[in-house]
Amino acid sequence: MSDATTSVPTEVHERLMSEAERIKATGETTPRPGRDPINQPMINNWVEAIGDANPRYLTGEAPPAMAQVWTMGGLHPRRDPNDPLHSMMELLTEAGFTGVLGTNCEQEYARTLHVGEEVTVSTRLESVVGPKKTGVGEGYFVTTRNVWRVAHPDGQSEVVVTMLFRILKFVPKERG
C-alpha cells in the first residue's frame, strides 16, 4: 500500500488490514449488560442537562439518544479484551497512529426505552479504511456497529437501537 500518496510502509498496512479482517471475523461481541435498569432519575438528569422539556420523558420514557448512557462503563470501566474497537485501537497505537478523532456517529432508533427495562450492548467491527491523508494527519478510519437490545420474558431479545461509530486513528501532523 505504500506509494507516493501514503507514508505507511506496505508491511505495516498489510499487518493492520490482516488484523482488522481477523477481528471482523470474530463477529459480534457477547452482549454486555448495562449497569442499571432504565430509571427516571437518570432520565431527569439527562433531559435537564440537554434542555429537553418533552413531557413524555417525565413519565417513564427515555429519550432515544440516551441508549448509550445505559451501557457506559463509568469512570473506571473494565475493558472486554475482545472488544473490537479497543482491539483495533491498540493495534493502530502500536503502529504509531496515536491521534484519535471521532468523525461521525449514525444512530437508528427502533423504539424508545422505558423505565424498568434492562439493555445490553454488543459490538462488531464493520470496517477499517485507510491509510488516508487528512487535515490532522494520515490514518485509518475505524467503524464499529453497536446494537442495544432489551430481553423479553420469553427469552427473545428485541433490537432497540443501532449505532455506527467511526473514528480516525492517525499520526498527528507535526506542528510548524
Spatial contact of 150 and 119, defined as CB atoms under 8 Å apart: yes
Q: What is the pLDDT of residues 14-67, one digit of tens each?
A: 999 999 999 999 999 999 999 999 999 999 999 999 999 999 999 999 998 898
Going along the chain from its start, the domains and CATH numbers come out as 10-172 (3.10.129.10)
Average pLDDT, the chain: 92
Find, among 126, 116, 128, 109, the residue nearest to 8 by Cα.
Answer: 128
C-alpha cell at 25: 471475523
The candidate with the shortest Cα–Cα distance to 165, out of 130, 133, 125, 134, is: 125
Query: Is the link from the previous residue into 131 a cis peptide, with omega within 30 of 0?
Result: yes
